[in-house]
Amino acid sequence: MVVLANPPAVDQIPLLRSPGPTDTFAAVPVVDLSIPGAARAIVDACERFGFFKVVNHGVDTGTMDRAESEAVEFFAQAQPVKDRAGPAYPSGGYGSKRIGLNGDMGWLEYLLLAVHNASISDSCAVPSNAAFRAALNEYIAAVRKVAVRVLEAMAEGLGIAPVDALSAMVTEQGSDQVFRVNHYPPCPALQGLGCSATGFGEHTDPQLISVLRSNGTSGLQIALRDDGAQWMSVPSDRNAFFVNVGDSLQVLTNGRFKSVKHRVVTNSLKSRVSFIYFAGPPLAQRIAPLPELLREGEESLYKEFTWGEYKKAAYKTRLGDNRLAQFEK
């Protein structure tokens, strides 16, 4: 367990009802990336939930474990040491409690890092510890390959050619990738009260897809599409990846895939550590429905925009806002 030297005050953080056993989302779609049926299963899961779990992904557990133990060590340092790795904005680094630029708060601390090609951008001086940086770079290279395979399988399942129609947006020079290491410290003050601190408030991710891996502590919840505001807890699995459809992929598929609303509820006793790789396109990339996916006479549901324009607009919003609304026709 990671104990913070200087725990932030919980009274600044919105509270949520603590998840109970009946909130568990036992039917999380599981995609076996090593079998030919993966493409069909991914498309099905993206249409139904905008969310799925990936197993048999080929990433060495040592790569995941090394990154995790280095991250645990980083967050176990004294607060002034961590603060020296901040701020998170504008160019990446350590942040605590404040999310984005418009007043959102969560019971977490994190590293927000820019990624160039397959590793932490040289322009990002954090983390400065060589072993931590190397472990994160090894992890980023591996998770990026998973993202590429998932995007290739999506193209295959959707019947779009070439196979890299989607993945090229992420591998191209200038693609806008972000990596996040989140640490949700336990919140014992709320134990037994039936409520929990918001770790990361409800939101959708703006990018194409996000690929998440966490330690064994649960906390991630997704809003089931058909049931509106019904929040379901995703059982943690430290050996799997979880993939979210982001707003940009929703637009590229003209709403066929839905960007999934999700959030994190903190645990009263255990630390949660998660790694999320956000696969975004180059800033100049036009985000519009792929012509192959439009049926005869079907029109785009969205106004034209580039990823750069969408990202800029996203940073003016609050976490829980419907960011796509202003781009709907």
Residues near ligand GA4 (CB under 6 A): 99-100, 102, 104, 112, 178, 180, 203, 205-206, 278, 314-315, 317-319
Judged by CB, which is closer to ligand GA4: 28, or 178? 178
Q: Which is nearer to ligand GA4, 74 or 277 (CB)?
A: 277
Give whichever of 67 and 314 is closer to ligand GA4, judged by the CB atom: 314
Compute the half-sphere exposure of residue 236: CA atoms within 13 Å on the CB side of its CA. 18
Say if CB 256 and CB 267 are below 8 A apart.
no
Closest CB 317 distance from ligand GA4, rounded Å: 5
Q: Which of 56, 66, 225, 86 is nearest to 150 (CA)?
A: 56
Partners of 114 in the beta sheet? 178
CB of 261: closest distance to ligand GA4 in angstroms? 11
CB-based burial of residue 283 (10 Å sphere; 0-12 exposed, 13-18 middle, 19+ buried)?
middle
**How many Cβ atoms are within 10 Å of 12's Cβ, its own excluded?**
12
Closest approach, Cβ 311 to ligand GA4, in A, equals 7
- Residue nearer to ligand GA4 on the CB measure, 18 or 244: 244
DSSP state of 328: B
* Cβ at position 256, least distance to ligand GA4 in Å: 22
Task: Count CB-CB contacts under 10 A for residue 115.
Answer: 24
Q: How buried is 92 (Cβ within 10 angstroms: 0-12 exposed, 13-18 middle, 19+ buried)?
A: buried
The least CB distance from residue 59 to ligand GA4, in Å, is 21
Task: Give Rg (Cα) of the chain.
Answer: 19
- Our CB check for ligand GA4 shows the closer of 30 and 313 to be 313
Residue in the shown chain whose Cβ atom is closest to ligand GA4: 100
Question: Quick one: 152 or 205, whose CB is closer to ligand GA4?
Answer: 205
Please, are residues 236 and 249 in contact by the beta-carbon 8 Å criterion? no
At 283, give phi and psi (nearest 5°).
-55, -35
Residue linked to tokens 């255990």: 270
CB of 283 vs ligand GA4, minimal distance in Å: 13
Closest CA to 108 of 228, 196, 204, 211: 196
Q: Which is nearer to ligand GA4, 18 or 119 (CB)?
A: 119
| Shortest Å distance, C-beta 276 to ligand GA4 | 7
